[in-house]
Chain A
Amino acid sequence: MQIEQAFDGLAPNRRTLLKSAAFGLFAFKVAGADMLLSPAEARARRAALSKLSAEDAARLEAFGEALVPGARAAGLAHFVDANLARPHGESLLTVRYLDVLPPHHTFYKAGLAALDAASRAVLGGPFEGVSAAAARPLIAAMLPGTIAPWTGPPPALFYLAVRSDAADLVYGTRAAFARMQVPYMAHIEPATDW
């Protein structure tokens, strides 16, 4: 029996990633053209989303912004969407640490739908339409799991996942370290943001 050599079998994927995500960039489509962009640039250029609908994205941005101010402009929805489009092994989302079973886009979509339904029931309108101040009690009930009505993934898990994604973009970048006067001290510098 002959066994074929398959050394470095994952290398092609890895190289693609080194070219893109390692530099804080993802492949997005803008007006039909493929581009490597940061999540913030992708948002500014209204790049197409591949896993989330426009409605999901607006809701995710509103939720992320309420959790971690600055997340919307940092391109939270595009960051999440681009990672959801990757194979599980290449995702950079914290949800990977939280033992949420893939596919992860259903986790985000179901969480956003549950949040919206709760918002409509309690606050009388879609989540992205209510002010951050009005949404506070609803959001505060997620981590303790007392939010009602709720039909989706465990609310605490969904809260933690989105809060961490947002914190990555707002606090995990070199610019954020500099803003907070925390030395970055990289051994191997990420070429752009992180």
Chain B
Amino acid sequence: MKLPERTDAVIVGAGAAGNLYAAVLAESGKSVLVLDPGPAWKSADLISSSIWSRRLRWGGPAIESTGRHAFGAGFNTGWGTGGAALHHYGTWPRLMPSDFTMKADFGKGLDWPISYDDLRPFYDRIQEEVGLSGDAEAEVWRPAGAPYPLPPLQQFAQARLLARGFHALDMKTAPSPMAILSQDYKGRPACLYDGWCDAGCPTGALANPLVTFHPRAVKAGARFLNGAHVTQLVPGKTARTAAGVEYIDSTGTRRTALADMVILAASTIANPAILLGSTGGDWSQGAGNSSGLVGRYFMTHSIASVYGFFDGEETENYMGVTGAQATNMDHYGKESLGGGAFGSLQWQLAPTMKPNDLLGVAMARADLFGPELTAFMDRAVHHLAVMFGFGEGLPLLENRVELSDRTGPGGVKTPRVVHTFAPESVKVSQSAAQLGLKIITAGGAAQPWAGPMATAHMMGGTIMGSEARTSVTDSFGRSHDIDNLIIAGPGLFPTAGAMNPNFTNHALALRGAEHAAARWLS
């Protein structure tokens, strides 16, 4: 079987954004080729084991991570069909209107070139398409939008016990908005609450690309080529066009995929790395980089983890979903934490904990070892509860994806992520830990403690904006510099908010893909 010599669109990356673009473009009649270096994962590969699930993470050339608050690249990146979204947890809150106007409102960070209202119809359509479960009314913080198509997921003891603390302090809780089915929906089955989402949900209850946009893309004729590591964009006839992309296939052979339109959807880290490594033709600073901002404003969320024991109760912490059972957003206001903290905070309560793994029970007290660890495990597997405070990281010019001195396939330089939180963002996480301890204590937990600050999610690096001087793309993800280049993914976000990014990622990708299909190359 041969691949076509040339396609209307070549899409780099078969993850969340790549599959959505592939579906929309192929359904609009375009010929589409999707390249991804990782395996062609199938649902049947998603074996319920935390150990097995390591293979779903990035397996290509190593990503260096540095800075005072180095980003957890190995944990946060995916590879192969489905990308990180294959094993993501399906916690899908919308951004808030205030996330789009931070600079205008507070003189800090950046503004988006669009408002929440521009994105709202796309959020509404995506939630209908993939099936979101939640309780819009109980989420008193939620911005305007259609109610969820499905009722909330079931809650277990851990969530109920943690909610007690919030209620004791007059704080609200609501079921987390989840891209996981509480009821059968569009031929996919309801969740079974076994908490294996981190190993990938093979039943189709969780909206990973294998059950959402990938089948649509394949049905509409999009071709997927796995084992294809894209190294750079190939310059076109002028500096304002790309002829296609160069990639190294699974045999190590260098190849070119020519296309009228190039869509970079290879993740927040790989997109800027590919652009920076594309120095052919007139692109001496990298492709699409006249602003010098490719790779800049890389952002992540801080995580404050707060734990406590409920000794008299079975917390059922092994039941539920890996994401969260309930949420609180009382401190989403950028200045609401006070004490010099600036940025939003979102609580996620009661994720499932398996005994082992990075987010598992044994890691909750990494300082314990030997007989103390054994005793801790005996108690914790039935009585521990945890909640995570996701804190906003401000967009800072100096936080970046750059090229390292190491090389990967094709001799191309591999990415390095440099990240240090702004002092105000560190304070968000510190305040969250303090607040969390107060809450869990008010709920009656014994011996509460807060874990060290961690990082989750990746945004920025190819930010959108209204001016070519101060951003990399327009609001549809179109490069300001290269007419037939579109960038997709949370790398477009100019601010990170404190919300898990994948719902906004989908809403933006749908908006960008439909715009591209409707005005093809115009």
Question: Which A residues are within 8 Å of any B CB, using their own CB?
Answer: 1-11, 14, 17-18, 21-22, 66-69, 87-94, 96-99, 101-102, 132, 136, 139-140, 143, 160, 163-164, 167-168, 171-172, 176-177, 180-190, 194
Contact = CB atoms under 8 A, between A and B. Distances in A.
B251 A9 contact: yes
Contacts of B377: 171, 180
A89 B225 contact: no
B97 interface: no
Interface stretch (B125-133, B255-263, B271-279, B467-475): B255-263
Given A99-B65, A172-B51, A182-B381, A164 B192 contact: no
16 contacts: A1-B256, A4-B249, A4-B255, A10-B39, A10-B227, A21-B52, A68-B373, A69-B370, A87-B59, A97-B74, A102-B62, A143-B366, A168-B50, A180-B378, A182-B382, A187-B201
B40 A160 contact: no
Given A171-B362, A172-B356, A88 B62 contact: yes
A50 B11 CA distance: 40
B371 A69 contact: yes
B370 A6 contact: no
B5 A1 contact: yes
B194 A99 contact: no
Contacts of B73: 99
Contacts of B255: 3-4
Contacts of B201: 187
Interface string B364-400: 0011011101100110011000000000000000000
Given A168-B51, A181-B382, A7 B40 contact: yes
Given A10-B40, A171-B361, 13 more contacts: A2-B2, A7-B224, A14-B45, A139-B370, A164-B357, A185-B194, A185-B196, A186-B196, A187-B196, A188-B48, A190-B48, A194-B49, A194-B51
Contact of A96 (B5, B57, B192): B57
Contact of B227 (A9, A163, A180): A9
B320 to A, nearest CB: 11
A21 B55 CA distance: 11
Interface string B36-55: 00111000111111111011
Interface of B: 1-5, 38-40, 44-52, 54-55, 57, 59-60, 62-65, 70, 72-75, 79, 192, 194-196, 201-203, 224-228, 249-251, 253, 255-258, 318, 354-358, 360-363, 366-367, 369-371, 373-374, 377-378, 381-382, 406
B356 A167 contact: yes
A187 B366 contact: no
A174 B247 CA distance: 41
Contact of B226 (A7, A180, A182): A7
A17 B55 contact: yes
Contact of A8 (B45, B62, B226): B226
A101 B356 CA distance: 23
A3 B5 contact: yes
Nearest to A185: B194
B358 to A, nearest CB: 5
A168 to B, nearest CB: 5
A66 B372 CA distance: 11
Given A172-B354, A185-B194, A9 B366 contact: no
Contacts of A11: 39-40
B375 to A, nearest CB: 11
A10 B226 contact: yes
A164 B224 contact: no
Given A3-B255, A8-B226, A187-B201, A96 B54 contact: yes
A9 B318 contact: no
B47 A1 contact: no
A182 B65 CA distance: 35
Nearest to A143: B367
A3 B257 contact: yes
A163 B225 CA distance: 38
